[in-house]
Amino acid sequence: MSENLTIADNMVVSLDYTLTLDDGTEIDSSRGQEPLVYLQGHGQIIPGLEKELYGMGIGDGKQVAVTPAEGYGDVDPNAVQLVDHDVFPPDMQLQPGMRLRMATPEGHPLEAAVVELKDDGVLLDFNHPLAGETLHFEVSVADLRPATEEELQHGHAHGPHGHGH
């Protein structure tokens, strides 16, 4: 195993990371867990972070600030929509600020936040919870290896536990 590997397209990267916002709120971290394993160059992590990792080697660390444009986008006012009360089970206790997991008619998962309960429906915000936020990542590279042929065909890392498709 060459010790001189650096992050490039089609490398499988094991990344330790902590994500915080401008005000220091910690959103996510791999501390105390397995690192994030992904295939570089295939858009599996947000673009602003992926492009900053090129050239890093095992043991390297850095801090990356990702703007909304390269993260989860800006807040889209059109993503706030009034949804009919009938959509929700009658016994569901909706409250402003609640996060809901829903699905589109095509079955794609969606997350929404309840903004306001109105007489004619529920005002939901479908923006990603991190839309409009600058994301501050502290990352270090735990491990690196070239992807296998199979991983490249599938476009994602398989990890140590076999396939599980």
> What's 149's DSSP letter?
H
CATH topology of domain 11-72+131-154: Chitinase A; domain 3 (3.10.50)
pLDDT for residue 78 = 95
pLDDT for residue 160 = 61
- Of the CATH numbers 2.40.10.480, 2.40.10.330, 1.10.3720.10, 1.10.10.10, which one belongs to the domain with range 77-125? 2.40.10.330
CB burial readout 5-39, b (16+ within 10 A) else e: bebeeebbbbbbbbbbeeeeeeeeebeeeebbbbb
Contact 42, 156 (CB under 8 A): yes
pLDDT for residue 137 = 98
Question: Which sequence spans correspond to the domains of the chain?
Answer: 11-72+131-154, 77-125
pLDDT, mean of each 10-residue run, the chain (165 residues): 83 97 96 96 95 97 97 94 92 94 85 95 94 97 96 85 46
- pTM of model > 0.85: no
